Structure 1
């Protein structure tokens, strides 16, 4: 073997083993958090139900409900109606509709605001002259015109329960509590396998957050169905428009800055998931880009912050989980050259590959368990169906790894603020808005990765390197699903 070939071989093996070791750390820490989450859930089951909070006993400081919208004609009226149904002392509540729209959404929102204002609701329509700072800039502009000591934020596709404020505001009696996140449910969860996968994947994140919150560890929280203390937001300088995940960025800064957070999984606002694979693809690239950017942006400050070793390990694992997911795509890209560069028998790669698949099996089972609990799935399929569904669930993470990888590369090249909203509303028609060019690039990557993995399977079988074949087969399953959905979507658009 030439020196160059040997160097390439050792480099590829080193990258593979580093990813395996980091994945192992992530799996162990996640198992620990899931155990904590289960203890919390069991404790709640044994506690007596608490009486509902009455208005006369509630902690009810002035609060502003912020509704940032942008071209949301399918759901904006429902959002405003839901916000106006929130139960809270009228003298302490104001609702601000923050409009950045460029279509008919503005007229719908203004009409609906006028109807509620005529009924005595303290609601106002606020429209900016430009979209500077995108959603972050819209929120900052809204805060400047608000009067509340706290901010409750709901994205356009959310429907909070009427008692949302009554069940959340009492937590802020603790002056150290800077912000609070609540649970999220999905109305279209069972629309398709794609929506069910998303509900499970985000349900898993919510279930993990239960354990992180209980243990006092850092968490990555959503920017909707949440409440922020104004003093906390102002002390941090507000939302940062330089990142497309401004909610996660502000949450990291708050936690690193010693503000506490709370997570109330049992207070659930309903939302909607992207129903088309194109919308899902663009959304996840944006999330990956923002999460990876935020992780590296705040890593140094987090490492300087004094904290126990276990909490620091959880912080690293949580903040860089998006990097870990993106690195799985690196393993996929390495699968073909590894088949040419090395033989797996009798090498460290043999044990590394076996360890990787063992970890994947453990992670798949614990992730699927947390996902079902978090998504509140009540059906109980048989063992064979459960294993098959879990396999397909795991396979869908491989296209996600590509979208996060692409987002990470774009973040590396300084693309931090290229914001594309996720279409909301029922059905394909509501979500068939013009897609950004990044969708075509990601789709091309889907095709390339599918063909690339087919080639890796062929080479692996020819050379007798069978250990990576299961990985490439699963890659083909995952990317095969998204390519099939893309074909269905294109066919539907052609017939529409």
Structure 2
């Protein structure tokens, strides 16, 4: 029985290593493309948008959609920022799609009234219920809109005043269905938690530059973006069956042969979760939605006609969340592997060496892209940068737990359990969703489990997986410490 368990653990370990290797190589390819684009400073599309901005051709009508839910801290800032957008007034309408159940509604109503009195075409749209959550809110909004294009901003976003002037000209190509822009973060330097998030999202943005340039499939967010109405109507709008409705619609658009564009140099400012409860609940939801969307569209992706390299990139994008969740499987396997396998066979020994080598390569590439994407341009301190890079890599291990938990919930059919992500230092001030306690218990278990694995490794002299488990302890100790700080506050 122990022999069978040993072989099973080794097989799963090697499968994950091979999967990780393919992902790293594909990401490295896109990273090099992004570097080439960066040297040119702007993509050809960005150049064309800047040129088109000066043209006097007819501007299309645009509806700005602002889906909000209990966002009293940021809703006034959002409305003020959107009302400052430069665009022909007769062609612009702003719809505040309010699903709130607290004082946000009154704040929004007053602000909307103030701007409407100054001649801005802005309306507050209120539903009787939250059916379909954000997806349902957006569908309700577009049914009451008149624009040829939709610009969408979440409650914590502040777009630049020239956002529409730089993005709308890109849609001269009738096959361009949607466009994503860059995102910066006002509170990225509040703590290492916010800095990590800014770097992680910065890396995603940096890689998306290469995917866009190469014409590869990408996973794009649903805020600070512009959609062509015809594209949305053709696809049937946002689907409420998944909690990542934006990613789902983006996949359907790309499989429907609509083009997308990415303008990294058009930057809207946003805010990051500052508390561990808000962060862990957000990432579990993202993991659950991304894994669900990946498997939901897998068959459609296989039926598409595309070159092998583009199919591989599509699979890499769609199942990157599954890969992250599988890293947590390695953490769970580390104890039986340490106890049962002494890595004296060539396959396991070289598998372990390859895994750690890939982690180093991925970590360096990821951290470099993250700093570029997040625009961290301060003076460099080598020792501090190395320590921060190590902590940055370690933080992906708690994320692996959140994605693993989300994947398990998908297996049990939990697709639409939606919890908004509150921003700022207050986080969840009233009712914390129950999933938070489950995720916190998993963090405590994983920290103790990896500590025990290190002890077993030292006792048995089987040191191969100690770097993994020590890094697990570092990552989970950080999130547990931040949780303790939140509780004290």
Q: Measure the CA separation in 1 of the matches of 2:410 and 2:93.
A: 37
Match of 1:7 among 4, 8, 19: 4
Equivalent residues of 2:254, 2:260 under 8 A apart: yes
SS of structure 2 residue aligned to 1:429? coil
Q: In the TM superposition, what are the counterparts of 1:159-178 in structure 2 within 5 Å?
A: 159-178=158-177
1:265 equivalent in structure 2: 264
Q: Measure the CA separation in 1 of the matches of 2:184 and 2:58.
A: 26
SS of structure 1 residue aligned to 2:377? coil
SS of structure 2 residue aligned to 1:265? strand
Equivalent residues of 2:274, 2:427 under 8 A apart: no
Q: In the TM superposition, what are the counterparts of 1:65-464 in structure 2 within 5 Å?
A: 65-424=64-423, 426=424, 428-429=425-426, 431-464=428-461
1:435 Cα deviation after fit = 1.4
- For residues 354-403 of structure 1, what are the alpha-carbon distances to aligned partners after superposition, in whole Å with 9 as ceiling and x for unaligned? 10000000000000000000000002323222211110000000000000
Give the alignment's TM-score, normalised by structure 1. Answer: 0.96
For structure 2, list consecutive stretches of 5 or more residues without a partner in the other structure: none
SS of structure 1 residue aligned to 2:182? strand
Match of 1:472 among 469, 473, 477: 469
**Count of aligned residue pairs for this structure pair:** 487
Q: Measure the CA separation in 2 of the matches of 1:253 and 1:357.
A: 36
Q: Measure the CA separation in 1 of the matches of 2:47 and 2:16.
A: 45
Q: Measure the CA separation in 2 of the matches of 1:82 and 1:58.
A: 26
Equivalent residues of 2:275, 2:426 under 8 A apart: no
Equivalent residues of 2:180, 2:225 under 8 A apart: yes
1:53 Cα deviation after fit = 5.9
Q: Measure the CA separation in 2 of the matches of 1:391 and 1:180.
A: 34
Equivalent residues of 1:67, 1:156 under 8 A apart: yes
Q: Measure the CA separation in 2 of the matches of 1:45 and 1:459.
A: 52
1:430 Cα deviation after fit = 5.6
Equivalent residues of 1:58, 1:170 under 8 A apart: no
Q: Measure the CA separation in 2 of the matches of 1:208 and 1:75.
A: 29
Equivalent residues of 1:275, 1:431 under 8 A apart: no
- For residues 217-271 of structure 1, what are the alpha-carbon distances to aligned partners after superposition, in whole Å with 9 as ceiling and x for unaligned? 0000010000000110011110000000000000000001100000000000000
For structure 1, list consecutive stretches of 5 or more residues without a partner in the other structure: none
Supply the RMSD in Å over aligned alpha carbons.
Answer: 1.5
Equivalent residues of 2:241, 2:416 under 8 A apart: yes
Equivalent residues of 1:460, 1:469 under 8 A apart: yes
Equivalent residues of 1:397, 1:478 under 8 A apart: yes
Equivalent residues of 2:273, 2:427 under 8 A apart: no
Give the alignment's TM-score, normalised by structure 2. Answer: 0.97
Match of 2:40 among 40, 43, 55: 43
Q: Measure the CA separation in 2 of the matches of 1:110 and 1:330.
A: 49
- For residues 180-225 of structure 1, what are the alpha-carbon distances to aligned partners after superposition, in whole Å with 9 as ceiling and x for unaligned? 0000000001010000000000000000000000000000001000
1:346 Cα deviation after fit = 3.0
SS of structure 2 residue aligned to 1:261? strand
